[in-house]
Amino acid sequence: MEVRPNQAVDNSSTSPQQHRRRAAAAASKQPVSATNAVDTTSVTQRLQKELMALMMSSGDLGVSAFPEGESIFTWIGTIKGGEGTMYEGLSYKLSLRFPLDYPFKPPQVKFETMCFHPNVDQFGNICLDILQDKWSSAYDCRTILLSVQSLLGEPNPESPLNTYAAALWNNKEDYRKMVQEQYFGGKTLES
């Protein structure tokens, strides 16, 4: 029987977490993956199901969304301003970026079309509770789009991202003028 000297292993670039993972794998004789692989199959299936449901039902509601390019995790959505609101007759483009742990975390949703609104900043970020602390995995893309559409007509001026829009909200004539000016003046936001 040949005895080999113990070769030194350089663990200086190994994190404690990786070291524990390797030790556990060695103990159980399981292969070790270099990174934490994320199984996106269930997320992909969920998003495909949501896309089909949205395609079948939402055209009449004034909301739609489709994947942008090849990735199921990046969508472009469209919402139409609700009847009787300052946004009636206007159509807004949104980007939706779904995280790998969707639906347990909300997607990042932003206006890509300029939108003058108390709860939308100049970069298109949206202040909406269901996209933050009130998120539930029961929500889907359709719910998000309908909520943003509803927010257009019913802003929360108590939690503004755009303080000028919040202050102007009660002056309907001037507010409508600014909505039109922003919409027709700058069609798409810079990302």
Query: For residue 56, what pLDDT is reported?
Result: 87
Neighbours of 95 (CB within 10 A): 19
User: Kindly report the CA angle at 46 between 44 and 51, in degrees rounded to 5?
Assistant: 95
**What residues are labeled active site?**
127
CA atoms within a 13 Å half-sphere pointing along the CA-CB vector of 54: 25
> pLDDT tens, position by position, for the chain (191 residues)?
444 444 444 444 555 454 444 444 444 444 443 334 557 899 999 999 999 999 888 566 899 999 999 999 999 999 999 999 999 999 999 999 999 999 999 999 999 999 999 999 999 999 999 999 999 999 999 999 999 999 999 999 888 999 999 999 999 999 999 999 999 985 544 44
Alpha helices in 13-155 (DSSP H): 16-28, 41-57, 141-153
- CA dist 103 and 66 (Å) reads 17
CATH for 40-186 is: 3.10.110.10
Query: pTM for the whole thing?
Result: 0.76
Enumerate residues 6+ apart whose C-beta is below 8 A from 167.
none
3-state class (DSSP) for residue 5: coil
Query: For residue 23, what pLDDT is reported?
Result: 46
Enumerate residues 6+ apart whose C-beta is below 8 A from 67.
47, 51, 74, 75
Query: For residue 158, what pLDDT is reported?
Result: 87
